[in-house]
Amino acid sequence: MTSTGMNIRGIELRRVELPLVSPFRTSFSTQTERDVLLLRVETDDGEGWGECVAGEDPLYSSEYVDASADVLRRFLVPALSAYREGAGITSAIDVGQALAPVKGHRMAKAALEMAVLDAELRAQGRPLSRELGSVVDRVPSGVSVGIQDSIPRLLDAVGGYLAEGYVRIKLKIEPGWDLEPVRAVRERFGDDVLLQVDANTAYTLRDARHLARLDPFDLLLIEQPLEEEDVLGHAELARRIEMPVCLDESIVSAQTAAAAITLGACSIINIKPGRVGGYLEARRIHDLAVAHGVAVWCGGMLETGIGRAANAALAALPGFTLPGDISASGRFYATDITEPFVLDDGHIAVPTGPGLGVTPLPEILDEVTTTTEWIPLP
């Protein structure tokens, strides 16, 4: 990235509330709406947008949206201007170093880095996809299917998504909702459907024999079956089952990815930029995985069009060889805050405009906004 210097005047924290088109149930919660924290960075040359993917409650990870807003307000935003003995950052590449003294809070850090990246690249007329190293102009789109009330309801949902053109189906699973849903989907839709499962840490190594019963269904992968800190357990599980083990919650940095690969804990990594602290760290994980022959794909966190645009740019890198969770806006939202992303022949187009390539639609943004807060920088 070319550093041309930048002066950040201030940062707006904006909360918006968006209802989901249908409840989304995982092994740890059921969501019916999203309380989203957006960031708008204002510089001498323009503005940039970022999205924090932290949920309302600390259930997927230790982060939650109220805490993200608090740490941004009290620590992270002030850290930008305090960097280099008060000289401040000169480029988005400085953001990680400026925020490093604050432990954790990767989702909040990622949102701030995203907004600064967007502002800087917009001013330079450069798209994020090109900056990250994209090699395609569209990415294959998979869809995540939450836990349903019944098998017939699950089959209706999967059938609908396949009819829309999604190229890969991911089923959320938990103890008591695993073998039968997978079997039913395979029997109804056949072996040609790309199918994977996501446990969101719902199992333990004691369930290895049970999870091995999923092997005959020719799944692409099983995602994060064990607790996020149980990397050794995942390595042992990978030796006991045939389907590839993919890590999600366990991977929070390039360093943890390297450890997991070395230990044999995974052969696939789900890269979520918010979980790892930003898109620049996500690219480092991508490069590491490619060097070790480990496949990667881009996960989703029910993002609005802001985060979805950035994810599409990331997923256009060469190492993303599996379909990600970058679905159409309509999968989760009847009305998105940007121009909606639509499915075209099973793919989502990578934005080509400067920065993220999208901006919020003012009238829709105002309608869904619940609070705003302006933080000036000295």
Which is catalytic among the residues 103, 109, 170, 272? 272
* Residue 4 phi, psi (nearest 5): -110, 5
Which is catalytic among the residues 103, 109, 170, 172? 172
Q: Could you confirm whether 172 is annotated as catalytic?
A: yes
Angle between helices 279-291 and 254-263 (to 10 degrees): 20
Angle between helices 151-164 and 179-189 (to 10 degrees): 50
C-alpha dihedral sign at 230, 319, 52, 5: positive
How many angstroms separate the CA atoms of 36 and 55, rounded? 8
- Closest of 171, 122, 169, 127 to residue 148, by C-alpha: 171
- Closest of 220, 242, 243, 224 to residue 234, by C-alpha: 224
Question: For the residues of 51-108, what is the DSSP string, one character each?
Answer: EE---SSTTSSS--HHHHHHHIIIIIHHHHHHTTTTT--SSGGGHHHHHTTS-S-HHH
Which residue carries 């401040």 as its tokens? 88
Q: Could you confirm whether 170 is annotated as catalytic?
A: no
CA 185 vs CA 178, 190, 191, 226, 256: distances in Å:
11, 8, 9, 23, 34
Q: Are 267 and 295 in contact (CB under 8 A)?
A: yes
Q: Is 261 helix (H, G, I), strand (E, B) or coil?
A: helix
Kindly list the catalytic residues.
172, 272
